[in-house]
Amino acid sequence: MPVEPHLAYPSSSATETVLGVTATRLGSADRVSQPRRFVVSDIHGHPEGLLAALREKDLTDQDEAWVGGDAQLWVLGDYFDRGPDGVGVVDLLIRLAVEAEAAGGQLTALLGNHEVLTLGKHRFGAITIQTPQGERSFAASWARNDGQAADQKRLTEHHLNWLMERPGMALVDEHLLIHSDVDVYRQWGSTVQEVNDYLLQALHTSDPETLWSLWSALTKRAAFQGLDGVDAAQGMLAQFGGSHIFHGHSIIGEDEGWPASATKGPKHYAEDTVTAIDGGLFLGGPCLVVEF
């Protein structure tokens, strides 16, 4: 499925006056080029894998510096766990965001469920939480999800503040960007901004049950698959805008029944309204940097 930004241009050059202001319509030869736009997801403690993938797209160089100019990159969450250096991933994203902005580009990192887990483990540890499934704790869930002790030890206030400011959604042209392939986002607000405002409040909570509810909701998956998948995707798009969804979270190889290493590219499904981009980097799959 070709996935391109929604761009509207007049078909020919002409000069016209609107409300007394002379404006020039741009023809095809005069069109201002749009920046390249990319999505990537689920780095899971492997900064070297992300850097290699960014180099292939000419976004970073051999010195790990941003060379993408005005390109725009959205990272769809899950920087921690399952790999050795989640803090290294966060440090890399923070640095590249500064370098991209200085070059006229943009790097925006969204919230994944493992960022919620990282915050929960740091803030609430082994505190018992009453859930509909019984007693739970962030510490136990973090351990089951291959949480890395070195990451918890290296977290600074700067890292924590950055994590608590992560938006959960973005709408770019006709593309709705989210981490998890779930439609629970619809319960958190009627617009992208309302959802992000809700998440900002939830991430700053001092109540472990509130943060656990967020973690639990974002760990679910596959809402856009199966008989009701198209309807679920269309419901998200009708509520938040756009005509296409990018998400990470669900590993393509696991969904398709093949090893992660056999994944060659993103998965387009739900009548081409949804694209999954988690290649399963921590399982030996590709880090998929997908251009719109």
Please state, in angstroms and rounded to a whole number, the distance separating the CA atoms of residues 180 and 201.
19
Residue 169, pLDDT above cutoff 90: yes
Determine how many CB atoms are found less than 10 A away from the CB of residue 149.
Answer: 9
Name the nearest CA neighbour of 35 among 96, 100, 93.
Answer: 100
* Tens of pLDDT, residues 216-273: 999 999 999 999 999 999 999 999 999 999 999 999 999 999 999 999 999 999 999 9
7 has pLDDT over 80: no
* Residue entry with tokens 């290294």: 88
**If pLDDT is split at 50, 70 and 90, which confidence band does 15 have?**
very low
- What percent of the chain stands above pLDDT 90? 88
pLDDT at 129: 98
Band (33; pLDDT cuts 50, 70, 90): confident
Nearest residue to 65 (alpha-carbon basis) of 102, 109, 108, 95:
95
Which residue, 130, 235, 108, is CA-closest to 179?
108
Angle at alpha carbon of residue 266, lines to 232 and 86, rounded to 5°: 95
Reading the block at residue 228, the tokens are 């009701």
Alpha-carbon distance of 282 to 84, in angstroms, equals 10
CA distance 112 to 75: 10
CA Rg, the chain, in Å? 20
pLDDT value at residue 230: 98
- Quote the Cα angle for 172-267-46, to 5°: 80
Alpha helices in the chain (DSSP H): 47-56, 86-102, 113-124, 138-144, 149-154, 157-164, 192-203, 208-219, 229-240, 252-256
Q: In the predicted model, what is the mean pLDDT of residues 179-192?
A: 98
Residue entry with tokens 């509520």: 239
CA separation, residue 211 to residues 141, 155, 207 (Å)? 13, 18, 7
Distance CA 198, CA 168 (A): 9
Q: HSE on the CB side for 49, CA within 13 Å?
A: 24
Give the model's pLDDT for residue 40: 99
Position with higher pLDDT, 114 vs 10 = 114
Instruction: Tell whether the torsion through CA atoms of 74, 80, 81 and 83 is positive or negative.
Output: positive
Confidence of residue 20 (pLDDT cuts 50, 70, 90): very low
Q: How many helices (H) and strands (E) does the chain have?
A: 10, 13
Average pLDDT over residues 33-40: 95
Question: What mean pLDDT do residues 149-178 have?
Answer: 98
280-284 mean pLDDT: 98
Average pLDDT of every residue of the chain? 91
CA dihedral 109, 261, 65, 153 (to 10 degrees): 60
Spatial separation of the C-alpha atoms in residues 86 and 49, rounded to whole Å: 12
Task: Choose the weakest-confidence range: 5-14, 51-60, 207-216.
Answer: 5-14
Q: What is the pLDDT of residue 32?
A: 62
Look at residue 43 in the predicted model and tell me its pLDDT. 98
Distant-in-sequence, close-in-space partners of 58: CB < 8 Å, separation ≥ 6: 67, 68
